[in-house]
Amino acid sequence: MNKKPLILVVEDDVPVRNLMSTTLKTHEYKYLTAPTGREAVLLASSHNPDVVFLDLGLPDLDGVEVIRQIRSWSNMPIIVISARSEDEDKIAALDAGADDYLTKPFSVEELLARLRATIRRLSVMNSSGADSSVYTNGPLRIDYPAGCAFLYEEELKLTPIEFKLLCLLAKNTGKVLTHTYITQNIWGRSWDNDIASLRVFMVTLRKKLETAPDTPEFIQTHVGIGYRMLKVE
């Protein structure tokens, strides 16, 4: 991304909004701010920002509704901001298509780190082409049409479900996928015992994929929320 990224900050809390915009300004990002959901949707469509930071508790529209409206026409990255007590809202936001989340209170460093990770993912997606049939991430390579995956050029012996799970996470690298989203995509439903099965499949997949399954390099766990495939340098 050569031009300066444009960030849309949606937050009704004035001190938080000021902190965010000052931080962005200091680090030479361009930004727009919106204090309400309606203004957020309007600015998102008129300015097509590169990344949206979206507070979930807004005075007019529910943050999840803002995501649904933006997602009806755009895949722009959306990072939701919520308080720790709003875990259910956070999960609903991720299910509606948010890419990542920040939990209040957050530090300026966390904000900038999430932003950099999101922008890096955008440039990777733009350069590799969305319909690429081979995925590479560090030593991991997935040949989607052939249905096989390799780690350091050695084929991983994956079961069909493990392969499906790996592909789903890979196709959404950098994005947090909720338990519900994953189970619906793998099994077409999301019952409590499917989430339990997902945990079991994740253990076996990690044993094959990760050099040290207890300190995973590829698949990150978000306790009570889901999993994310990380971009390995």
The half-sphere exposure of 169 on its side-chain side, counting CA atoms within 13 A, is 26
Q: Whole-number minimum distance, CB 171 to Ca ion, in Å?
A: 32
Name the minimum Å distance from CB 55 to Ca ion. Answer: 4
**What are the structure tokens assigned to 32, written together?**
């727009």
Residues β-bridged to residue 226: 178, 222
Q: Closer CB to Ca ion, residue 34 or residue 115?
A: 34
C-alpha distances (whole Å) from 49 to each of 12, 108, 116, 191, 197 are 19, 20, 15, 36, 38
| Closest approach of Ca ion to the CB of residue 1, in Å | 29
Q: Which of 55, 100 has the CB closer to Ca ion?
A: 55
Which tokens in the block code for residue 60? 């007019």
Whether residue 228 contacts residue 219, with contact meaning beta carbons closer than 8 Å, is answered with yes
Contact 108, 219 (CB under 8 A): no
Minimum Å gap between C-beta 58 and Ca ion is 6
DSSP assignment, residue 28? T
Comparing CB distances to Ca ion, the nearer of 9 and 44 is 9
Question: Restricting to residues 20-59, which ones interact with Ca ion according to CB under 5 A?
Answer: 55, 57
Q: How far is the CB of 216 from Ca ion (least distance, A)?
A: 33
Of the listed pieces 13-21, 23-31, 192-200, 213-221, which binds Ca ion according to CB under 5 A?
A: 13-21
How many residues belong to the site for Ca ion (CB under 5 A)?
4
Give the residue among 101, 43, 108, 37 at the shortest CA–CA distance from 68.
37
| Residue with nearest beta carbon to Ca ion | 57
Q: Which of 6, 12, 120, 125 binds Ca ion (CB under 5 A)?
A: 12
Q: Tell me which residues in 56-115 interact with Ca ion (CB under 5 A).
A: 57
Residue 73's DSSP bridge partners are none
Give me the residues that bind Ca ion (CB under 5 A), please.
12-13, 55, 57
